[in-house]
């Protein structure tokens, strides 16, 4: 592809997107008004399935297929990062030396770690009844683990966070989402339709049919994906060293598709 053609492609695509966006924005309901055509329908549908958090109902029931797409994007992005951040032949691992941690930092990190981890799990578990859900809680739980790096050192983190199980967990959670969708299909309705389980009592943990299941799958997927992603970045920042000048090659951005 010549640069000229590429420029044309970008300009045409960008112009088309801009026109579509402006056209869509012109017909949006007014900001802060009391007419919410989409919101009203979404709330009615989520109440019919005993889901207290309408956003969770939209994410894991009414638009569950979109969430499958988003999950796949995250999965593919992390996979791509892992391929880019892998240890190449001209790099070697150096054991990082344990460093002294200031006492207040250590105390604070070790105190906050369980609280943050629990908050993350709480947010995942209560996705169907209160704001939050698998995505938010998963990120919180995964980043909470890394307080161990602040409070102790890299080796302590590596001990509680062997990367391989998290990679498996990531793939398992992604498949769990798919399998739940397929189960609805086998059960005689549409892919990812919320018809499998009883809807339960409104505003309790066991409500909303398959929403908690899909929510938990997303929570596990996101938590594992973030752990794996941060492990890749940490490995590169702390452990992996390239040998002298051989790293130069990496500075030239290779153009994809050439």
Q: Output 97 or 257, the one with its CB closest to other proteins.
A: 97
Question: H or E segment at 240?
Answer: strand 240-242
Instruction: Provide the minimum distance between the beta carbon of 8 and other proteins in the complex, in angstroms, as a whole number.
Output: 29
Q: Output 11 or 205, the one with its CB closest to other proteins.
A: 205
**Helices 134-145 + 211-234 axis angle, to 10:** 30
Binding site for other proteins (CB under 8 A): 32, 53, 55, 123, 131-133, 135-136, 139-140, 143, 146, 226, 229-230, 233-234, 236-238, 241-242, 244-245, 247
Q: Output 135 or 177, the one with its CB closest to other proteins.
A: 135
Q: Output 62 or 143, the one with its CB closest to other proteins.
A: 143
CA distances from 75 to 39, 67, 137 (A): 30, 12, 17
Q: Output 149 or 177, the one with its CB closest to other proteins.
A: 149
Dump the DSSP string for 73-138.
Answer: HHHHHHHHHHHHTS--TTEEE-PPPP----HHHHHHHHHHHHHHHHHHHHHHHTTTTSS--HHHHH
Instruction: Provide the minimum distance between the beta carbon of 5 and other proteins in the complex, in angstroms, as a whole number.
Output: 32
Q: Output 165 or 247, the one with its CB closest to other proteins.
A: 247
Instruction: Provide the minimum distance between the beta carbon of 112 and other proteins in the complex, in angstroms, as a whole number.
Output: 12
Three state DSSP letters for 151-209: HCCHHHHHHHCCHHHHHHHHHHHHHHHHHHHHHHHHCCCCCCCCCCCCCCCCCCCCCCC
Instruction: Provide the minimum distance between the beta carbon of 39 and other proteins in the complex, in angstroms, as a whole number.
Output: 10
Instruction: Provide the minimum distance between the beta carbon of 99 and other proteins in the complex, in angstroms, as a whole number.
Output: 14
Output 15-22 pairs: Cβ under 8 A, ≥24 positions apart.
Answer: none
Contacts of 120 (CB under 8 A, 6+ apart): 137, 138, 139, 140, 141, 142, 144, 223
Q: Residue 233: which of 143, 168, 99 has the closest Cα?
A: 143
Q: Output 133 or 209, the one with its CB closest to other proteins.
A: 133
Instruction: Provide the minimum distance between the beta carbon of 246 and other proteins in the complex, in angstroms, as a whole number.
Output: 11
Assign 149 to helix, strand or coil.
helix
Structure tokens at 115: 């609280």
Instruction: Provide the minimum distance between the beta carbon of 140 and other proteins in the complex, in angstroms, as a whole number.
Output: 5
């Amino acid at each position: 592809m010549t640069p000229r053609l590429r420029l044309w492609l970008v300009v045409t695509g960008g112009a088309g997107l801009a026109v579509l966006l402006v056209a869509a924005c012109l017909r949006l309901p007014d900001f802060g008004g009391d007419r919410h055509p989409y919101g009203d329908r979404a709330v009615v549908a989520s109440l019919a399935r005993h889901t207290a958090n309408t956003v969770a109902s939209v994410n894991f029931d009414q638009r569950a297929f979109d969430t499958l797409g988003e999950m796949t994007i995250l999965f593919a992005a992390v996979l791509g990062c892992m391929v880019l951040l892998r240890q190449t032949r001209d790099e070697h691992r150096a054991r990082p030396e344990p460093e002294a941690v200031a006492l207040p930092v250590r105390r604070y990190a070790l105190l906050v770690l369980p609280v943050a981890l629990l908050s993350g799990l709480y947010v995942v578990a209560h996705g169907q009844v209160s704001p939050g859900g698998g995505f938010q809680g998963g990120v919180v739980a995964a980043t909470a683990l890394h307080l161990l790096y602040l409070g102790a050192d890299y080796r302590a983190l590596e001990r509680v966070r062997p990367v391989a199980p998290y990679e498996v967990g990531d793939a398992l959670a992604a498949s769990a989402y798919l399998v739940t969708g397929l189960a609805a299909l086998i059960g005689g309705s549409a892919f990812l339709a919320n018809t499998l389980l009883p809807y339960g009592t409104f505003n309790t943990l066991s409500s909303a049919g398959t929403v908690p299941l899909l929510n938990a799958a997303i929570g596990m997927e996101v938590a594992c994906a973030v752990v794996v992603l941060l492990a890749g970045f940490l490995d590169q920042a702390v452990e992996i060293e390239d040998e002298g000048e051989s790293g130069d090659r990496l500075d030239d951005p290779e153009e994809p598709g050439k």
